[in-house]
Chain A
């Protein structure tokens, strides 16, 4: 199909670069430089989709990001929903379809790359229109570091869509020279296709750069498709222009009804005449230029309908020259046509009353109700807005620090005003920053603006036919009308924010760029209030929609979160380990053999450890090196028990509590030398405990001579566990006396293990004879393999975290964070023995005396054994007293914290925290599992080897 609405030349499109695209199943041709919207209009296609609620045909209303109507889904190159045809650059092979409100995400992973760049500058200028360029030139010439971002493919802003001159030549020539000059300066960054979408604290602005979207299927895979710019600027100049305000009248939503300035943009930028028979409906001078330009381009402009009684002489003369009728004091009261506007109904409008109407045939109805400065970014930066009754719009109010606004964004709509305003705010900003600022010697020459008439603020045209269903649309994307607003105010709503939520006006994809101010005006009229008092809804980021993929950037897949592996990880992978995530660590969970499931594997691993010998990778244990003359004193203050009395060569178990007396971590402490301790923490708590200790050292006890260093990753830690562990260690450490007399429980020795310097500690988390072999992480795998080989005669078994959990639970050893939840004291865990009575104070001590912590009904750690030894209780299961459930609320005694099958016990068992648990030992309680109440017997928390006979082998 040939593009019959395209001029043979002109505009910023390449008339020799034809591109094929498919829209709603039809194949069309467009040109390089088109948007999807301009290419459709060139082919005479106005209707893009139907509306979300009412199914009414909807077309292209604007030429930019403010469009409420032209929603499309792109299918090729890659599915992307909820784009506007006015902002999608045409590419060869593009396939898109209109969207009635809701899109569809791709059903396959997005192959594109997305990334982010941080940058810092003196001046960030948003918008490369006349004001932004003037500001950028002024700043750049003074040597400031400047970043200029602009959402369009090329600089120029409004100049791309009009025919004005600067210095006696086409304005775009001045733009080209300005861009070339900026490009020649080393400290200037100009980013096109880049939308500043969020303005945050302290000059922080986020912008989205679309780097390859316009290349479509030809986009190189090695380039990121979109990039988030994180710009920190000392000063921000907002030169974002203005959005034309539509007019609200019956039937104002049909395809073929377009903003007047946008029709002008389609003409000058894309060489597209959007209609053949044109009616212009305006309350503002600016629409006359559209009428004149379209007439000069060959369209028949039937009439300019101007609601004002006073119309501008300059423009009416220009219209008369072209035979264009100007009807002043008239309004459009309705439209004909279903899928496309075919006729405008026009009536006199005097003193708020409509006269007799007649109709004017047209295929393009241009509307202009004035202009709204694009104050979004200024408002996001907490700038207050001020209502300008002359413009019928909100403009920036009092200045905010480190920001200024220039050009149409301030409500200054002349070209001269944009150029001078841009330069002026730039000079001021440079002065504020203490940078050399040179005012331009002279501004570029601009033709004198004709004498005009004031804008008339007309929020809505009255309904000519009051019985008809309301088709005076305010928010076209939400299908919300004047009568919806009146229903809201009629229901008693008085705030624009409430009306917004009641009517949904301004909550769609476009965030009310064309509807928000009009809604405020209509609400004010309905309430008899002042718009200035009423205000407008809050502008929030993002200015335009941003894909989550862009925000995620490179932080996807394996780069989403760091993965920490131990020095022995490769061995675990090779031996078929299943892994468990513990924080960022990958820990071997269990090592299935043959077709074992987790239950079979863990029973086998547990039995091997208790019967012979096993080994596990404990390298993820948090390790903190504590050095200094006051190291022992610090540990005394932080642990509940005494640490300073620990002898060199010995190890001690310890518990740390918060100031509130609740357990926060446990681990072992060894004394390496007089002034050197090494402590371990729970794997998931390593960073938290280092922070905790640092906090006390820095903020409360700066007098302590002590230094803390995380050494978690420096050590590989291998617990060698089971009755035959002594034999295995002896085989690889011939110089070490491993007898229980020479190397007793809770002691450590430096030794050579498999030829490698090692520190071996007799620490057990299973109740078995056990040695914890610590070596440099570099040697971790070598020592692991040596122990593995030495253990072969004993059938040594590698075990994972699940087996570790079962073995420790059989012994009643709690896991901090599993048995505890920040409401559990050491006494609740049955660990009164860990609390020093000698120390005057330590963190948590005073709280142990709080009455709350002495209540007899506190939850205490106990064991639970199901009466049926095959039933596995669910962890988190509630514990109740009654064998039949009463109506809710059911009194609950506590919950199951750990639950396993035990090889050693030949049955299932659990740990639980239960109110007055220790008094209940021997009682039968119940745990609901689905509809059944499972009877359990309360036991001591230690279920295996209570006398500790296995500890020394």
Chain B
């Protein structure tokens, strides 16, 4: 049972959270202007790196707020957590 640091509540057990997939994938401003290929890329395609990955997390059984985290997908280690209004941290 991993501990995940909620930027608002502090460290809580992973079972309190829901995973929300890749972070920093904005809903397109003008969807009508997108080709089918571009729209499909937004709709279906996400990165799947081995290593640091910026993800969205929801503290669903806690403060119910969304935040972002950089997680190493190979080790599950949370390298950083940050609020949605904060920039993605640089992970060396």
B26 within 8 A of A: yes
Interface extent on B, as a size class? 20 to 34
B23 to chain A, nearest CB (A): 9
B31 at the interface (CB under 8 A from A): yes
The 8 A CB mask of A760-804 against B (1 = contact, 0 = none) is 000000000000000000000000000000000000000000000
Is A298 among interface residues, defined by CB-CB distance under 8 A?
no
Q: Find residues 17-52 in chain B having any chain A CB closer than 8 Å to their own CB.
A: 18, 20, 26-27, 30-32, 34, 36, 39-40, 43
Chain B residues within 8 Å of A851, by CB = 36
CB-CB < 8 A to B14: which residues of A? 201
Q: Which residue on B lies nearest to A847, using beta carbons?
A: B43
A695 within 8 A of B: yes
Whether the Cβ atoms of A840 and B20 lie closer than 8 Å is no
A850 touches B66 (CB 8 A): no
A698-B20 contact in complex given A202-B2, A846-B31, A850-B39, C-beta closer than 8 Å:
no
Contact with B43, one of A200, A204, A659, A694 (Cβ below 8 angstroms): A659
User: Cα distance A660–B44 when bound, in Å?
Assistant: 9
CB-defined interface of A173-201 with B at 8 Å, one 1/0 digit per residue?
A: 00000000000000000000000000011
CB atoms of B76 and A201 under 8 A apart:
yes
B74 at the interface (CB under 8 A from A): no
Known: A691-B60, A702-B85. A846 touches B3 (CB 8 A): no
B84 lies within 8 A of chain A by Cβ: yes
A846 touches B34 (CB 8 A): yes
* A659-B43, A847-B39, A851-B36 known; A699-B56 Cβ under 8 A: yes
Taking CB as reference atom, which chain B residue is nearest A841?
B31
Does B31 contact A845, Cβ atoms closer than 8 Å? yes
Shortest distance from the beta carbon of A687 to any chain B beta carbon, whole Å: 9
| A841–B3 touching, CB < 8 Å | no
Residue A735 CB within 8 A of the other chain: no
A-chain residues with CB within 8 Å of residue B80 when the two chains form the complex? none
**Residue B1 at the A interface, CB < 8 A?**
yes
> From residue B17, how far is it (CB to closest CB) to chain A in Å?
13
A202 to B77, CA, bound (A): 10
Residues of B within 8 A of A931 (CB): none
- Distance between B39 CB and nearest chain A CB, rounded to angstroms: 6
Look across to chain B and name the residue whose beta carbon is closest to the beta carbon of A845.
Answer: B31
Q: Is B71's beta carbon under 8 Å from chain A?
A: no
Once the chains bind, are B36 and A698 in contact (CB under 8 Å)?
A: no
- Asked whether A695 lies within 8 Å of B20 as measured between CB atoms, the reply is yes
B65 at the interface (CB under 8 A from A): yes
Centre residue among A202, A694, A849 by max chain B CB count within 10 A: A202
B residues near A849, Cβ cutoff 8 Å: 36
Q: Which B residues lie within 8 Å of A698 (CB)?
A: 65-66, 84
Q: In the complex, which of the residues B27, B40, B65, B85 contacts A700, with contact meaning CB atoms closer than 8 Å?
A: B27
Whole-angstrom distance between the Cβ of B54 and the nearest chain A Cβ? 13
A123 CA to B82 CA in the complex, in Å? Answer: 29
Give, as a whole number of angstroms, the nearest-CB distance from A712 to chain B. Answer: 16
On whether A201 and B64 interact (CB within 8 A), knowing A659-B43, A850-B39, the answer reads: no
Partner of A204, one of B1, B26, B30, B31: B1
Q: How far is the CA of A219 from the CA of B31 in the complex (A)?
A: 69
What B residues does A846 contact at CB under 8 A? 31-32, 34, 39
Residues of A within 8 A of B76 (CB): 201
Max chain B Cβ within 10 angstroms of own Cβ: one of A698, A699, A845:
A699
Per-residue contact bits, chain B 54-68, to A (CB 8 Å; 1 contact, 0 not)? 001010100011100
Cα A649 to Cα B64 with chains together (Å): 32
List chain B residues, Cβ under 8 A from A201. Answer: 1-3, 14, 76
| A274 to B49 CA separation, bound complex (whole angstroms) | 60
* Least Cβ–Cβ distance between A591 and chain B, in angstroms: 37
B36 to chain A: which residues have CB within 8 Å? 849-851
What residues on A are CB-neighbors of B64 within 8 Å?
694
Given contacts A202-B3, A847-B39, contact A840 B66 (CB under 8 A): no
Most A C-beta atoms less than 10 A away, residue of B1, B40, B56, B58 = B1
B32 smallest CB distance to A (angstroms) = 7
Q: Mark A682-707, 1 if CB is under 8 A from B, else 0.
A: 00000000010011001110100000
Contacts of A845 in B (CB 8 A): 31
Contacts of A702 in B (CB 8 A): 84-85
Q: Which residues of A contact B1 (CB under 8 A)?
A: 200-202, 204
Chain B residues lying within 8 Å of A695, measured Cβ to Cβ, are 20, 58, 66
Name the distance in Å between B72's Cβ and chain A's nearest Cβ: 13
- Chain B residues near A232: list those with CB within 8 A: 3
Q: Least Cβ distance of A232 to chain B in Å?
A: 8
| Residues of A with C-beta under 8 A to B2 | 200-202
Complex formed: what's the CA distance from A840 to B60 in Å?
A: 32
CA distance A351 to B43 in the complex (A): 70
Q: How far is the CB of B35 from chain A (nearest CB, A)?
A: 11
Q: Which residues of A sit under 8 angstroms from B40, Cβ to Cβ?
A: 850
Mask, A663-696, CB within 8 Å of B = 1, is 0000000000000000000000000000100110
Q: How far is the CB of B10 from chain A (nearest CB, A)?
A: 13
What residues on A are CB-neighbors of B27 within 8 Å?
659, 700
Q: In the complex, what distance in Å separates the CA atom of A698 from the CA atom of B84? A: 8
Give bound CA distance, A202 to B26, whole Å: 33
A837: shortest Cβ distance to chain B, in Å?
Answer: 13
What chain B residues lie within 8 Å of A200 (beta carbons)?
Answer: 1-2
Contacts of A700 in B (CB 8 A): 26-27
Which residues of chain A from 201 to 247 have a CB within 8 Å of any chain B CB?
201-202, 204, 232
By a CB distance below 8 angstroms, the chain A residues around B43 are: 659-660, 847
Q: Which residue of B lies closest to A840 (CB)?
A: B32
Instruction: Tell me how far the C-beta of B24 lies from the nearest C-beta in chain A, rounded to whole angstroms.
Output: 10
B26 surroundings in chain A (CB, below 8 A): 700
Cβ–Cβ < 8 Å partners of B66 in chain A: 694-695, 698-699
CB distance from A569 to the nearest CB of B (A): 26
A847 to B31, CA, bound (A): 9
Question: Of all chain A residues, which has the CB nearest B1?
Answer: A204
Name, among A200, A232, A702, A846, the residue most crowded by chain B CB atoms within 10 Å (CB to CB). A846
Name the CB-closest residue of A to B78. Answer: A202
Shortest Cβ distance from residue B71 to the other chain A in the assembled complex, whole angstroms:
13
Shortest CB-to-CB span from A615 to chain B, Å, is 35
Q: What is the bound-complex CA distance between A200 and B3, given in angstroms? A: 11
Question: Are B84 and A841 neighbours in the complex by a CB distance under 8 Å?
Answer: no
Cβ of A691: which chain B residues have Cβ within 8 Å of it? 18, 58, 60
With A and B bound together, what is the CA distance between A847 and B27 in angstroms? 13
Kindly state the separation between the CA atoms of A200 and B32 in the bound complex, as whole angstroms.
Answer: 48
Closest to A697 in B: B66
Chain B hits for A660, CB < 8 A: 43
Write out the residue numbers on chain A whose beta carbons fall within 8 Å of the beta carbon of B13: 204
Once the chains are docked, how many angstroms separate the CA of A849 from the CA of B85? 33
Q: How far is the CB of A693 from chain B (nearest CB, A)?
A: 12
Question: Which residue from chain B places its CB closest to the CB of A708 in the assembled complex?
Answer: B64
Q: CA A570 – CA B32 in complex, angstroms?
A: 53
**How far does the alpha carbon of A700 sit from the alpha carbon of B66 in the complex, in Å?**
11
CB within 8 Å of B: which A811-867 residues: 840-841, 845-847, 849-851
Report Cα–Cα, A202/B11, bound state, in Å.
Answer: 11
Assembly CA distance A699 to B40 (angstroms)? 21
A201-B76, A202-B1 known; A841+B85 contact, CB < 8 A: no
- 5 shortest A-B CB distances, which residue pairs? A846-B31, A201-B2, A202-B3, A698-B66, A204-B1
13 residue pairs from A and B, CB less than 8 Å apart: A200-B1, A201-B3, A202-B2, A204-B3, A659-B43, A660-B43, A694-B64, A694-B66, A699-B66, A702-B84, A841-B30, A841-B31, A841-B32
Q: Which B residues contact A (CB, under 8 angstroms)?
A: 1-3, 13-14, 18, 20, 26-27, 30-32, 34, 36, 39-40, 43, 56, 58, 60, 64-66, 76, 84-85
Which residues of A come within 8 Å of B, CB atoms?
200-202, 204, 232, 659-660, 691, 694-695, 698-700, 702, 840-841, 845-847, 849-851
Q: A200-B2, A691-B18, A850-B40 are in contact. List 18 more A-B contacts (CB 8 A).
A: A200-B1, A201-B1, A201-B2, A201-B3, A204-B3, A659-B43, A691-B58, A691-B60, A694-B64, A694-B66, A695-B20, A695-B58, A699-B56, A700-B26, A846-B31, A846-B34, A849-B36, A850-B36
